[in-house]
Chains A and B, each alone.
Chain A
Amino acid sequence: MDLAYSPEEEVFRARLREWLAKALPSLPPKPSPDDWPGRRAYDLGWQRTLYDAGYADVHWDASPTTRLIFLEETERAGAPYVGANFVGLLHAGPTIAAEGTAEQRARWLPPILRGEEVWCQGFSEPDAGSDLASLRTRARRDGDAYVVSGSKLWTSHAEVADWCELLVRTDGEAPKHRGISWLAMPMDAPGVTVRPLRTLAGSTEFAEMFLDEVRVPVANRVGAENDGWRVTMVTLSFERGTAFVGEVVACRRVLVEVAREARANGAWDDSGVRRRLGRLNAEFRALWRLTQWNVSEGEASGGVPGVGGSVFKLRYSRARQELYELAAEVLGAGALDLGCGWVLDRLSSLSYTIAAGTSEIQRNIVGERILGLPKG
């Protein structure tokens, strides 16, 4: 057991820190949350900056420990997060890298790294959220193309995406997990309609997507026909394994800010508030240790994240919600003012126990795949 980083890792950290100190002051101002074209340009610009500095592929090619250092340092420095590049860098990219052909990797991976193309995720449907395998969007073979019809929901970044990682049913007769395929669909294809969805936080973070006889080349299928479920599990294990790492560092920083606010407004004098602050400090410290543990274990087993990500996600999503509940208590009436940044974060934290597999689904995964309990 060792928490010390190697000399090479420390060199990487020092260079990154130095580079961030120089790169961040020249960033353009952050666009407003509803300015999607502005957000796209901002996020792609940051990815291009990372690319030029040699950090673009840190999520893919670096060792897990190096990636951990990257996420820790960029978050500490207040650098932009992956934003609109989330799906490309953390979902579709790793999936294509792991399961795609040489041509597919050459076509799609470089533009993600260079900050030229944005991806969105076409998984969930109105009747297939947690039970993702029951999805109904159909794809029928017509020569060298699939003809796709159906609808998708909760499609993040759909409004500005160039590509969609799309799950479709290619065999309606097969058992529900067996008849699914994974397609890369161009968002400008005829028949694709995107309609923004307004969330309870007031923003249009997601969209509905309607697909009416959309032609997608067969060559855009990643993995074998009807083998999309397995390909998807690869994607989801990446999502649960690494997607939230930087956020733990961010939450710890917010917790310090909440303590500062509590001292300033007198809430600190309430021992109940202090005790909850202390508990959450223990919580986020432990979540960081769990991250380091999972990364070390992942490094030992070849870098593919396992079901341990479910343990992390269950605990993290709840801790994040508790953090903003405490922040609201410290703020008092101020917690009703949408002008306060914590209030929007409080609202968005409500999605954490739902998105990327609800907590109930995660408990099923832990119960069945780690503990070996029988399926219901």
Chain B
Amino acid sequence: MRFRLTEDQRVLKSGFREVLARRFRTEELRGAVDGSGGLDRRLWRELGEVGLFSLRLAEDEGGVGLGVPEAVLVFEEAGRALLPGPLVATHLAAGVVPGAATGETVVTAVGGGGLVEWLDEADVVTGDAAGAVPLRSVDPATPLHRVPGGGSSVRPDDLFVLLTAAEQVGTAARTCEAAVQHARTREQFGRPIGSFQAVKHLCAELLVRVEVARVAVYAAAVTVDPVDIAAARLLADEAAVRGARDSLQVHGGSGFTWEADVHLCLKRAWVRAERGGSITESEELLAGELLVEAG
């Protein structure tokens, strides 16, 4: 048992993080948020070039030939960067929809709750989006449509849920780092606020949730077992949503402003939590497994 990153996996993860740090900086994030320009097609093709979409496609089909664990690592980094766009849907369409693998074609999908992200910008839609109506999306970097009456009937497939959970872990890690950074530097009563237990303990719990969610996601990537994926999803949603809320709390008044990134993390985490389908369903799946074992 070697349940830790291999050297190749470390290099892949840090390499992709560096690409995003160069290519998707605060300016680009702010551009996407204030976003008149829609989806950045050039960035999309560049993501295609570095293999984000073709990662699991076999090498003789023009892909990178890696597996689900590696996909989880790069989607974690995409989540950390708050990279916008229907990334998971396009990745899952590689090898099925022409041009998806290279980033020439933008593919979106009908996800949990009957929601469709980036419908107006997408070239192809997976699932039936007929009659979809636009919402005023809570996440300024994710335009949303909703399929009428489609909410409960849509069950996202496991890989869609797992890669979404990986993005949630990345965002959760970002919120933790931001909280810690703020707590180290912001002074009140003549001391950094991170020296106060009330703040320090919020930060510690942020980290605990990230660590637990991350191993659950990594393990589910190795087993690709539906129950593991449901568990990973629950913990990753919790880490991202509660993490963003606690990070906002640590940031205090400044966290409540549009300029702070923390609300973007929270809103994206909300959108992704919906993408994975009903939370109750995941909980019921996990409960059902206990009964099977009980015999």
Contacts and interface: CB of A to CB of B under 8 A. Distances in A.
Contacts of A260: 291, 294-295
A374 B188 CA distance: 13
Nearest to B210: A311
Contacts of B130: none
Contact of A1 (B201, B203, B208, B222): B222
A286 B205 contact: no
Interface stretch (B28-36, B241-249, B278-286): B278-286
Given A3-B222, A3-B223, A256-B293, A373 B284 contact: no
Contacts of A300: 4
B286 A374 contact: no
A5 B222 CA distance: 13
Contacts of B215: 286, 289-290, 292-293
Nearest to A370: B207
Interface string A291-335: 011011100100000001001001100000000000000000000
B29 to A, nearest CB: 24
A130 interface: no
Contacts of A281: 227, 231, 286-287, 289-290
Contacts of A3: 1, 3, 219, 222-223
A278 B207 contact: no
A6 B1 contact: yes
A366 interface: yes
B3 A277 contact: no
A12 to B, nearest CB: 12
B4 A376 contact: no
A336 interface: no
B69 A311 contact: no
B191 interface: yes
A1 B1 contact: no
Interface residues of A, number: 55
B201 to A, nearest CB: 4
Contact of A367 (B194, B282, B290): B194
Q: Which of B9, B212, B215, B227 has the most CB of A within 10 A?
A: B212
Nearest to A362: B204
B1 A65 contact: yes
Interface string A238-272: 00000000000000000111111001000010010
A374 B289 contact: no
A289 B195 contact: no
Q: Which of B6, B197, B282, B286 has the most CB of A within 10 A?
A: B286
Interface of B: 1-6, 9, 69, 180, 183-184, 191-192, 194-197, 200-201, 203-205, 207-208, 211-213, 215-216, 218-219, 221-223, 227-228, 230-232, 234-235, 280, 282-291, 293-295
Pairs A-B, 3 closest by C-beta atoms: A278-B283, A278-B286, A282-B231
Given A1-B4, A263-B294, 7 more contacts: A1-B218, A68-B1, A285-B227, A292-B215, A293-B218, A314-B208, A315-B208
